[in-house]
Chain A
C-alpha cells in the first residue's frame, strides 16, 4: 500500500524525463562500449521498445512501418519514397495516439557544424509538417537537430552519407501509456 504509489510516482517521473529529454544517445555516447552499435542503430539505447511482432509496439513501428526517411545533399524536400514511409507513419501514429514523438534531423559530415545543425532542423520540420498534414496532432511532436554529430554510418563515402542524411521518428511512451 505504501510501496505501490511510490513506484508509480517514480515511473511517472521517469516517463516525464523520457518525454522531456530526447537524448537517446546516452552520455554523449561515452557509454558506447555496450556494443549496441549494430544494424545502423549507432549506440542508441534500444531497450524497452517492445516485441517487434506486436503491431502496437515501438519495435514494430521502427522495423515494419519504418522510422526514418532519407534526403538528398543539402535538401529537406521529401522524396516520393519518403512520403510513402511518412504516410505509413502517420497512419500508425493515428492508430496509436498514446506515443509521444521526437523527430530527429541529421546531416552528413560534408558541411560546417552550424550549417548542418540548421539543415537537420529543416529536415525534422519537413517531416513534422508532413505528419501534421496527415492528421498527427502537432502537440505530440517535438523536433531536434543533431546536425552531423550523430552519424549512423561512419565511412566518408556517399554510401554512408546517404544514410546519414536522415530524419528519424523516435517514439516514447510519454503520453500515459
Chain B
C-alpha cells in the first residue's frame, strides 16, 4: 500500500504548482508533507459568503457545504471561522492576504449569493493565499433554483477541488442505495437516492418487496436493480423522473439479477440462473432477445463493463472459488486476473479505466481493494467483518461500499475510502443502508 500514498501529494503539487508558480512554493511546497504515509491536509478558509440580496441563510448554508465538501476529502483542512482575523466585507473588495497567511490558510474561498423569485445566483473565487492571486479557472458563477442550492455549493467545491488536485470533481453527484430497516432475519429494503454526502434522501420504492443492488445509467436518468416484486428475483428498470418501473428479460423459471448498464446506456448485462446454473447475459435495455455471454456449469455473475464498452469484468467460481475474470463484451471464456489468496467478487471497472475495485474475502475478513486490469498491484483499502460492493466516484478517486457489523444486532452502513486507502469514513444516511451506486457527475 505504501507506494500509493505518494500518488496524491505528487498530483497536488504538480497541479497547484502548474496553476500558481510562485517563489513561496520553492521554500514551502504547499505545506503538504508525507509522514509515515499520512498526508498533511491543505489548510483552507471559507468565510461565510456575502449576501448580495435576498440570500438570507442560503449564504451561510452554501459556504458550509463548500467547506464540508472540501474537508470531507481528507485532502483539505478547514481553518474555522472563529480563527479568522480578517473579514470579507464585500465580494469585490480587496483581500488582506497577510491576514489569511497569518492564520495559515493556503487556499481562500470567497463567494456571494443573491436570490429572488426562487432563483439563486452564486459567484465565487478561490485564491492561492501564498501567491495572493485567484487560482486560474476558479472564479465562476452558477445560477439555479433555490431548492437546488446544495448542488450549486457542490459545483463550487468541485471547481476548487478540481483546480487544486488536477482531478475531476465528484461532489455534484448522487448515490442510489438500499435503505434498510427491521431485524436481521426480516430486513425491509427500499430503494433510495441521496446526495453523495448523505443529504437529501428520497425514497424510490416502498419496502413491500426485497430490492437489491441498484445501478445508475450512464446519464443518471434510469436505475437498474433486482426486485422480488413479482415474487422471484427479477431485474427491473426504473425511470428516475417518473419512478415508472418495468421488469426486464422476463424468462419463466429463471432468476435474473446483478444488472449493470453498458457505457452507452443501451445494453444491460446481468446474471441469469436456470436450473441452478448462473451465467452472464446481455440484452438491449429497450427489449429484444437475450445474448448469452458465458456458458459454464460454474457461477458467473457481477458483470461490469470497461468504460470504452469493449470488455466485461466479472466473477466466476470455475476454478473452485470465486475469482475475477475479464472477457470481450461479446462474451467468451475470459482470462483470470485475480491471483492472490482468498475469494474475489463484485469487480467494478473504474470510470478512468485503469483499475478494478473488488470485494475480497480472506481468513474470515472482508476487504475492499483495487488492482490493475491485468491483476497486478493489488491493494486492499479496507478490512472489517463484512465489507462489500464497491462503487466508484465519477472521478475514479473515491470508492463507496457497504460495511455491515456482525451479530444479531448487525447493521449495514455506507462508507467511503480514497483509492489510496486514506479517508475512510461512514456516510450519514440517517439509518441502515447498503448497496450504494454512484451516479455520474450531474449535468
For residue B188, which residues in chain A have a CB less than 8 angstroms away from its CB? Answer: 27-30
Say whether A117 contacts B255, CB under 8 Å. Answer: yes
Interface string of A133-177 (1 = CB under 8 A from B): 000000000111110011111111000000000000000000000
For residue A150, which residues in chain B have a CB less than 8 angstroms away from its CB? Answer: 185-186
- Evaluate whether A111 and B361 lie within 8 angstroms (CB atoms) in the complex, with A42-B186, A149-B187 already known: yes
Of A25, A123, A143, A151, the contact of B184 (CB 8 Å cutoff): A151
Say whether A117 contacts B257, CB under 8 Å. Answer: yes
For the A-B complex, the count of residue pairs with Cβ-Cβ distances under 8 Å equals 151
For residue B185, which residues in chain A have a CB less than 8 angstroms away from its CB? Answer: 29, 37, 42-43, 150-154
Measured CA separation A117–B395 after assembly (Å): 31
Q: Please report whether the interface of chain A is mostly helix, strand, loop or mixed according to DSSP.
A: loop
Chain A residues 67-123 with CB under 8 Å of chain B are 74, 76, 109-115, 117-119, 121-123
In the complex, which residue of chain B has the Cβ closest to the Cβ of A22?
A: B231
Interface string of A36-63 (1 = CB under 8 A from B): 0100001100000000000000000000
In the complex, which residue of chain B has the Cβ closest to the Cβ of A17?
A: B231
For residue A30, which residues in chain B have a CB less than 8 angstroms away from its CB? Answer: 181-182, 186, 188, 207-208
Say whether B301 contacts A115, CB under 8 Å. Answer: yes
Residues of A in contact (CB 8 Å), total 47
Residues of B in contact (CB 8 Å), total 54
For residue A29, which residues in chain B have a CB less than 8 angstroms away from its CB? Answer: 182-183, 185-188
Cβ-based interface call for B408 (8 A)? yes
Shortest C-beta distance, A172 to chain B (Å), equals 12
Cβ-based interface call for A66 (8 A)? no
Chain B residues 250-278 with CB under 8 Å of chain A are 253, 255, 257-258, 271, 273, 275-278
For residue B271, which residues in chain A have a CB less than 8 angstroms away from its CB? Answer: 114, 117-118
Measured CA separation A155–B210 after assembly (Å): 21
Sorted from nearest, which 8 A-B pairs have the closest CB atoms? Answer: A125-B276, A29-B186, A21-B231, A156-B406, A154-B408, A43-B186, A32-B186, A30-B188
Interface residues of A (CB under 8 A from B): 20-23, 25-30, 32, 37, 42-43, 74, 76, 109-115, 117-119, 121-126, 128-129, 142-146, 149-156
28 A/B residue pairs, CB under 8 Å, sorted by A: A21-B230, A23-B209, A25-B186, A27-B188, A28-B189, A29-B183, A30-B188, A30-B207, A37-B183, A43-B183, A110-B361, A111-B343, A112-B345, A112-B388, A113-B389, A114-B301, A115-B315, A118-B301, A119-B299, A121-B276, A122-B278, A123-B276, A124-B276, A144-B255, A149-B212, A151-B184, A151-B185, A154-B408
